[in-house]
C-alpha cells in the first residue's frame, strides 16, 4: 500500500447523485449532463467536472462517463492522474466500475468511458439495482500517480430534477353503458388537457389525451392511470411518457383499459362505477439544483427561454433556502445547540428541542404541553426501540430526510413513527416497504400492516402475494406463516377466490 503523504491525502472521491432521472427529458437526447465543478487541493489545486452522457457518443446503446479538467484551472499545464468511475446501488455497493491509469490532462481536456455500460442494463433489465428510488449515484475517485488512492477526501453533490405533479380522481357512473367521447378536463398552469374515453379494439376502452395548450418549456410529460378497486386499492392500468420530440399539441395515445378489468366487475366495477386515479408529472429543461455537503449550496440553470423568470427565481430561492434550513437544523441536532430536553434509551441520551419535536409529533406535543412527567423531568424515556431507530426518527424530524434506509430499519422506523404519530415518516416508510417487497419478507410486512391497521399497506402486500402466489405459497415462510397467522393467511386466500 502506498505510504501516507504530506497533507494526508493524494486524491478525491466525488459522489454525484442524479435524482428523478426517469423524468429527465435529456435521457432520450444525445446531450450531456455536467456536474458542479470541484477543486482538488491535493492535486495541485486543479479543478474538475464529471460529464454523463445518457446516450453514448460512440454507440447509442451505451451510457458514457467522462472526467473533464476545467479550462479556467490552477495548477500545472499538464497533470497525470488515475481515475475510477463507479455506479453505486442503494446500499453504497459498487455495481459497475471502470478505472483509467496515468492519463495526462491539460486544461480543457476530457477523458473517460464512452461505452461504460449498456442502456438496456441500466434503464431496463437491472434498473432497480442501477437506479434505486429513481436516482443514479456515480462515484469518481481521482488520485495522483501512486498505485492507490490514500485517504481520498470525499466531496458530494446532487442534481435534482424538480418536478410538477398533479392528480385527480375520475368517477364514471354506469360505465358499462357509457358512450365514447366522455371526457374529463384538467387545467394546470403549465398544461391544459382532456382525458377522453373512446372505444378500443375487441370491446375494450381506450383513454386518449387531448392536449389543448401547453407551455413551451415543458420537455417531459408522463401520465399514469390507476383503477381504484372495491377495496380502495390502486392497480396501474398504464403509464405513458412523452418527451420533447413527441410532445406536440394534439392527441397523444394514452392507455388501454383491458378486457381483464371489464370482466372482473365485482372488483373493478362495483355498482357499475369505474373509479380512476389519474396522476401526471411535468418536467422542464431549466429546473435542476445542485447541493454540496461542504455546507455550500449551488444552483445551475440553463439560460434559455423562461416564461416567468421572476417565478423561477422565487422557486430557486425557496429550494436553496429549504436545503439551507435542513442543514442548519441538522447542525442544531448534531451539536445539541440550545437543547432543552433529552430522549433517553437504555444506552444513550439524545439532546433534543421540545419545539421541533412538538411541531412534528402530536404525541410529543401533548407530553410537553400538559402536566405529564416528561414536561417536568427534562427527559423522555424510550426504551423499546434501538438507538439507531431513535436516531433515524430524530434526523427525519429535524431535516425531513431519510438516509441509507434498509428493510429492517424501515420496518422499525415505521413502527416508531406510528407510535408517535409522525404520519409523513410513516408514509415514507410504508412506501419504501411497498417498493421493496419480495417473497422472503412479504409475510413480515403483512403482519406489520395488520398490527398497525394500515389497510393501504395491507392491500398492497395482499396483491403482491396473489401476483407471486406460485412462488410464495410453496415457500417455507408461507407454511410457517399459516401456522402462526391463520386469519391473515385466510384473508389472502379469500381475496384470491374472489379475484378468480
Pair 453, 432 in one domain = no
- CA distance to 80, 427, 440, 481, per residue, from 437 (Å): 47, 16, 8, 16
What's residue 253's pLDDT?
59
- Specify the pLDDT at position 203: 59
> Is 448 found in the same domain as 483?
yes
- Sorted by sequence, the CB contacts under 8 Å of residue 108 that are 6+ apart come out as 69, 70, 71
Does residue 156 belong to any structural domain of this protein? Answer: no
Asked whether the whole model's pTM tops 0.85, one would answer no
User: Do 100 and 22 have their domain in common?
Assistant: yes
Main-chain phi, psi angles of 404, to 5 degrees: 50, 50
Q: Does one domain contain both 348 and 228?
A: no
Same domain, 200 and 266: yes
Spans in the chain with pLDDT lower than 50: 1-8, 249-251, 286-289, 291-320
CA gap 122, 408 in Å, rounded? 26
Which CATH number characterizes residue 444's domain? 1.25.40.420
> CATH code at 374?
3.30.710.10
Cβ–Cβ contacts within 10 Å for residue 272, how many? Answer: 13
Which of 125, 151, 177 lies at the terminal end of a domain, its last residue? 151
CA-nearest of 159, 53, 142 to 103 is 142
Same domain, 20 and 136: yes
Domain membership of residue 224 (yes or no) is: yes
Secondary element (H or E) of residue 499: helix 486-499
Q: Which residues of 411-437 are buried (b: 16+ CB within 10 A; e: fewer)?
A: bbbbbbbbbbebeebbebbbebbeebb
pLDDT digits (tens, 9 = 90+) for 130-157: 999 889 999 999 998 766 666 677 888 8
Closest Cα partner for 38 from 67, 18, 62? 67
b/e map of 51-86 (b: 16 or more CB within 10 Å)? ebbbbbeeeeebbbbbbbbeeebebeeebebbbbbb
Residues 442, 433: Cα–Cα separation, whole Å: 9
Residue with cell string 434509551: 345
Judgement on whether residues 336 and 417 belong to the same structural domain of the protein? yes
Which residues, other chains included, contact 500 with Cβ-Cβ below 8 Å and sequence gap of 6+? none
pLDDT of residue 320: 47
Q: Are 247 and 177 members of one domain?
A: yes
Whether the CB-CB separation of 439 and 475 falls below 8 Å is answered with yes
Task: Give the Cα-Cα-Cα angle 309, 313, 314 (nearest 5 degrees).
Answer: 120
β partners of residue 78: 106
Where does a domain end: 436, 455, 482?
436
In the block, cell 491539460 appears at 106
Report residue 313 CA to chain centroid gap: 25
Residues 122 and 142 in one domain: yes
401 part of a folded domain: yes
Does one domain contain both 413 and 468?
Answer: no
441 in the same domain as 425: no
- CATH, residue 180: 2.60.210.10
Residue among 50, 59, 56 at smallest CA distance from 18? 50
Pull the grid cell for residue 355: 419545539
Q: Could you tell me which of 307, 195, 191 has the C-alpha nearest to residue 251?
A: 195
Out of 436, 462, 481, a domain closes at 436
pLDDT tens-digit series, residues 397-416: 999 888 778 889 999 999 99
- Scored b (16 or more CB within 10 A) or e, 292-330 reads eeeeebeeeeeeeeeeeeeebeeebeebeeebeeebebe
> How many structural domains compose the chain?
4
Residue 5 lies in a domain: no
**139 and 171 share a domain?**
no
Q: Is residue 158 part of a domain?
A: no
Crossing angle of helices 442-451 and 407-419, in 10° steps, is 0
Q: Does any domain span residue 291?
A: no
In a domain, residue 394? The reply is: yes
Residue 159 lies in a domain: no
State the residue range of the domain holding 395.
321-436
CA 394 – CA 279 distance, rounded (Å): 32
Amino acid at each position: 500500500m502506498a505510504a501516507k503523504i504530506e497533507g494526508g491525502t493524494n486524491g478525491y472521491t466525488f459522489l454525484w447523485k442524479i435524482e428523478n432521472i426517469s423524468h429527465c427529458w435529456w435521457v432520450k437526447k444525445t446531450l450531456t449532463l455536467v456536474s458542479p465543478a470541484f477543486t482538488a487541493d491535493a492535486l495541485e489545486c486543479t479543478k474538475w467536472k464529471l460529464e454523463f452522457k445518457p446516450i453514448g457518443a460512440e454507440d447509442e446503446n451505451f451510457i458514457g462517463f467522462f472526467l473533464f479538467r476545467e479550462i479556467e484551472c490552477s495548477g500545472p499545464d499538464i497533470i497525470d492522474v488515475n481515475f475510477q468511475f463507479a455506479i453505486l446501488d442503494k446500499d453504497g455497493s459498487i455495481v459497475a466500475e471502470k478505472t483509467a491509469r496515468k492519463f495526462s490532462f491539460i486544461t480543457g481536456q476530457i477523458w473517460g468511458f464512452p461505452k461504460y455500460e449498456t442502456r438496456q442494463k441500466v434503464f431496463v433489465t437491472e434498473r432497480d439495482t442501477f437506479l434505486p428510488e429513481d436516482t443514479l449515484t456515480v462515484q469518481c475517485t481521482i488520485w495522483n500517480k501512486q498505485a492507490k488512492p490514500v485517504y481520498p477526501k470525499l466531496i458530494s453533490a446532487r442534481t435534482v430534477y424538480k418536478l410538477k405533479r398533479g392528480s385527480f380522481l375520475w368517477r364514471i357512473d354506469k360505465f358499462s353503458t357509457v358512450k365514447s367521447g366522455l371526457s374529463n378536463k384538467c387545467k394546470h398552469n403549465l398544461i391544459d388537457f382532456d382525458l377522453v374515453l373512446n372505444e378500443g379494439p375487441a370491446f375494450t376502452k381506450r383513454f386518449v389525451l387531448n392536449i389543448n395548450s401547453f407551455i413551451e418549456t415543458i420537455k417531459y410529460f408522463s401520465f399514469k392511470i390507476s383503477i381504484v378497486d372495491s377495496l380502495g386499492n390502486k392497480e396501474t392500468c398504464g403509464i405513458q411518457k412523452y418527451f420533447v420530440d413527441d410532445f406536440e399539441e394534439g392527441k397523444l395515445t394514452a392507455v388501454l383499459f383491458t378486457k381483464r378489468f371489464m370482466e372482473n366487475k365485482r372488483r373493478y366495477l362495483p355498482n357499475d362505477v369505474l373509479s380512476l386515479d389519474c396522476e401526471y408529472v411535468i418536467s422542464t429543461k431549466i429546473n435542476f439544483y445542485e447541493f454540496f455537503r461542504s455546507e455550500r449550496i449551488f444552483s445551475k440553470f440553463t439560460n434559455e427561454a423562461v416564461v416567468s423568470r421572476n417565478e423561477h427565481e422565487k422557486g430557486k430561492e425557496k429550494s436553496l433556502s429549504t436545503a439551507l434550513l435542513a442543514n442548519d437544523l441538522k447542525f442544531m441536532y448534531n451539536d445539541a445547540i440550545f437543547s432543552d430536553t433529552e430522549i433517553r434509551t437504555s444506552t444513550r441520551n439524545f439532546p433534543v428541542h421540545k419545539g421541533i419535536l412538538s411541531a412534528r409529533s402530536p404525541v410529543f406535543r401533548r407530553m410537553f404541553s400538559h402536566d405529564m412527567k416528561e414536561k417536568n423531568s427534562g427527559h423522555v424515556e424510550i426504551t423499546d426501540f434501538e438507538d439507531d431507530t431513535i436516531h433515524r426518527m430524530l434526523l427525519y424530524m429535524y431535516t425531513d430526510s431519510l438516509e441509507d434506509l434498509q428493510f429492517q430499519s424501515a420496518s422499525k422506523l415505521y413502527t416508531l413513527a406510528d407510535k408517535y404519530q409522525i404520519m409523513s415518516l410513516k408514509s415514507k416508510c410504508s412506501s419504501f416497504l411497498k417498493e421493496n417487497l419480495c417473497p422472503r419478507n412479504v409475510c413480515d410486512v403483512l403482519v406489520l400492516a395488520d398490527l398497525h391497521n394500515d389497510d393501504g399497506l395491507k392491500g398492497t402486500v395482499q396483491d403482491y402475494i396473489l401476483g407471486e402466489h406460485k412462488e410464495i405459497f410453496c415457500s417455507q415462510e408461507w407454511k410457517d406463516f399459516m401456522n402462526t397467522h391463520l386469519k391473515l393467511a385466510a384473508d389472502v386466500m379469500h381475496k384470491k377466490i374472489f379475484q378468480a
